[in-house]
Structures are given as structure tokens and as C-alpha cells.
Amino acid sequence: MASIGVFYGSSTGNTEDAADRIAQAFGGGVASTNITATSADEILAHDLIIFGVSTWGTGDLQDDFEDFMTTLEEMDFSGKKVAVFGLGDQEGYPDTFVDAMGIVGKTARDRGATLIGSTATDGYTFDSSDAEENGSFIGLALDEENQSDLTQDRVVKWVAQLQGQI
């Protein structure tokens, strides 16, 4: 079985909760870790690396990931599969919905990662997102402000999709 690591940054606990749900959906042996409590080497030790980040304000990275970006920009993800999930508010910030997911995912891809886990934009109402490419999100978009009732189902389906891609 592939080694899977889930790494997140969280200010309010919502992204941490989503990371825990994702780790649990994989079953035993997968843990979620705050990005501030790990190193580049610990992250790169995994076959599948999952990053979770929320978008703040008008497209800003969550503070933990803002601090981690210099490290991320120096990492070599060659031969690694990376999946991303992002939390945002599609009603309050429809022009920057889950932008942080796009920033983190595209940075990993630029550093050699193979991105997996894209999802459809169906079921979301937003105007623009840096995480959207070719009509899909580059990862899993979650909106705890407006669609928290859909989170668990989205997580379960996404993890099943990832399991088929590793």
C-alpha cells in the first residue's frame, strides 16, 4: 500500500476537521498533520501527499501555509502524486473561491508533482477561482460556511477517487 500523508493549515479548525475526515476515510495508517509540525523531508517520505488549505479574505493563503510557501517552493516533488483540498466561502467571496488551493496545488505541480483528484465544479456557485482549470477544480473544494451538509459525502467520494489513482 502507498504511504499517504495529509498536511493542513487551519486557523478556525475547519480545515483540520476536513483533514481528519480525509485521513479517516482512507482507513488505518493515514494521519493528518498540521503543516507547522512537519518538515519537507517528512512530507516527501510519502507516495501520496495531500495538502489542505483555506482561502482567507480576497484570495489569501491561510497563515500556516503563507509561512510554509518558501519551503514548498523549494521542494522537489518529482515522482510524487499530490492531491489538494481547499476550503472557501463561495457566497461571501465568489471571485476568489478556494484560490489558496490553486496556489498550493499549482506550486506543487510546478515543482514536479503529478496532481490527482480533480473534481467537477457542479454544485458550486462562484464567479472565479484560481483552483479551476478546464472546467474542474484541481482538487476537492469544500464550503463549510454554505454547504457543510455536503462535506462528508464529498470527502468519501474524493478519497475513493484518490484510491483509484494511486
Q: Is 72 helix (H, G, I), strand (E, B) or coil?
A: helix
Q: Which domain holds residue 25?
A: 4-165
Beta strands in 18-137 (DSSP E): 32-34, 48-56, 60-61, 81-87, 114-115, 119-120, 132-133, 136-137
What is the identity of the amino acid at 108? A
For residues 139-150, give the mean pLDDT: 98
- Mean pLDDT (whole number) for 42-66: 96
CB-based burial label for 149 (10 Å; 0-12, 13-18, 19+): exposed
Residue 82 vs residue 57, higher pLDDT: 82
Is the pLDDT at 2 greater than 90? The verdict is: no
- pLDDT number for residue 28: 82
User: In the chain, how many domains are there?
Assistant: 1
Query: Which CATH number does the domain housing residue 155 bear?
Result: 3.40.50.360
For the segment 63-113, what is each residue's pLDDT rounded down to a tens digit?
Answer: 999 999 999 999 999 999 999 999 999 999 999 999 999 999 999 999 999
